[in-house]
Structure 1
Amino acid sequence: MHHVCTPSILYFGTPVVLVGTSNEDDTYNLAPISSVFWLGWRAIIGVSASAKTAENLLRTRQCVLNLPSVNEAFAVNRLAKTTGSNPVPAAKLKRDYRYEPRKFETAGLTPQAGQLVAAPRVLECPVQLEASLAAVHTTGLEDPDLRGRILIFELRMLRVHALPQLMMDGHPNRIDPDKWRPLIMSFQEFYGLGEKVHYSTLAEIPEVLYQTADMMKAGRQ
């Protein structure tokens, strides 16, 4: 018998992403998020409207989605309760966040310039996705208490950078899920992936059949 409950959050498990954006003074901001999913060569991320990441994305319309592995959990922790917004937004003050403009130094990570966007890649992250902003959506439109508090950014991928050791043998454009070990956030705790548990019928479909127009256009960037 299932139990009816009211969890305060419903983070059942998503990858951690370090979103790299450029500040108005050409310095870098780096922020961890875990509200993300992919559709083809597009990503959907959710960000607080008061966050520096949201401000930078709306202004520059570009970013890098840096995907840490389980080996970078320590760096994500160092960023977890920091913000590039000054003054610190009221909601974050209640959660003991502090203003920190030197995100890379704080995390012990190394910035790399984007090749197609003016936003930072993270050297230590095994996967880096350069992206441009395609659209912005607002959550909670039907509720005045929630309207505008969270923004949903639809991002179009422009270029994918991945470590060679992640690639499937004999397939230079396919990441091997047996080699990729993303950092997962589940109910505020860090986890990694275990071994494959069962054969997937979807794996019978050639990956090339999922190519989209976004991918083909990005290849010409």
Structure 2
Amino acid sequence: MHRTTHHTAAPHRTGAPHRAIEPHILYFGTPVVLLSTVDAAGVVNLAPISSAWALDRTVVLGLGPDGRTSHNLAARPELVINVPGPQLWRQVERLGDTTGRPDAAHFVRDKFAHAGLTPQPAELVAPPRVAECPLQLEARVADLRSDATGEFLVVEAHVLRVHAAESITVAGTDYVEPAAWSPLVYNFRHYFGLGAELGHSSRSRTPRRPTT
């Protein structure tokens, strides 16, 4: 007589329990950038944003429609996307409640001086770079439009030139050294840097560092 063995399927594991939530914002770990722009009269504005991501040489930005940055880009579609490191979080925070609009509360005429940052001439566009930022992207607006809700502006900026501090590059190459570079990250309205490297993508072209 043959005995039949029944195999019970292992339960499907779905990880830790989840629950539905309604957070006020969805900044789930996004880089902070400082946008420098100029108006039609050449007056400089500097503003922090935390809605920025890159597609090859295009950087997509999310802006409030009533801010000075949006008005400047509509009048003069040039900008510098300055990418600060974690050590600049206090300077970024000083700019958070300021505005470049003279008719608004918290108006600051010289945002650079207010934040303790240094303007540095750009090479291809009118707005200045932020000298303290290790990465600086000179760019020109390719498209500026309202988002689907009508509450924000979506800017597609084409990068014309990239400036990188020598300290974060691989010597003799055009590559940024990931182990030397850490962006300032806005994580649910708290500031963070990156932790230790976990691994690299198979698409990475950065020269490998020797292992010990």
TM-score strictly above 0.5: yes
Give distance in 1, aligned partners of 2:201 and 2:155: 30
Tell me, in whole angstroms, the C-alpha distance in 1 between the residues paired with 2:171 and 2:136. Answer: 20
Which amino acid is the alignment partner of residue 69 of structure 1? G
The structure that is strand-richer by fraction is 1
- Cα RMSD for the two superposed structures: 1.4
The CA deviation string for residues 92-135 of structure 1, in whole angstroms up to 9 with x for no partner, is xxxxx611121011001111121100011011111110000101
Tell me what 1:154 maps to.
156
Counterpart of 1:81, as a letter, is D
Matched, 1:129 2:145: no
Query: Which residue in the other structure is 1:34 paired with?
Result: 50
Opposite residue 169 of structure 2, the aligned amino acid is: M
In the aligned structure 2, how far is the partner of 1:155 from the partner of 1:134? 5
Instruction: Report the secondary structure of 1:75's partner residue.
Output: helix
Q: What is the one-letter code of the residue matched to 2:68?
A: K
Identity %: 38
Alignment partner, residue 43 of structure 1: 59
Which runs of no fewer than 5 residues in structure 2 stay unpaired? 1-16, 207-212
Distance 1:176 1:137, change over 3 A: same
Q: Write the distance in 2 (CA, Å) between the matches of 1:51 and 1:187.
A: 22
Give the CA deviation at 1:77. 1.1
Counting only pairs closer than 5 Å after superposition, residues 22-171 of structure 1 correspond to structure 2 as 22-88=38-104, 98-140=106-148, 146-147=149-150, 149-170=151-172
Q: Max radius of gyration: which structure? A: 2
Length, aligned pairs only:
190
1:198 aligns with 2:206: no
Distance in 2, Cα, partners of 1:60 & 1:199 = 39
Gaps (5+ residues) in structure 1?
A: 89-96, 141-145, 208-221
Contact 2:39/2:75, CA 8 A, preserved across alignment: no
Q: CA deviation at 1:137?
A: 2.3
Match of 1:12 in 2: 28
Give me the TM-score of the superposition, normalised by structure 2: 0.85
Inter-CA distance 160–5: structure 2 relative to 1 (3 Å threshold) = same
- Tell me the distance in 1 between the aligned counterparts of 2:200 and 2:157: 31
Partner Cα distance (2:34, 2:140) in 1:
15
1:6-62, CA deviations, whole angstroms, 9 ceiling, x for partnerless residues?
Answer: 111111011110000013332210000010000001100000010100000111111
- Report what 1:210 is aligned to: none
For residue 169 of structure 1, report the CA deviation from its aligned partner.
Answer: 3.9
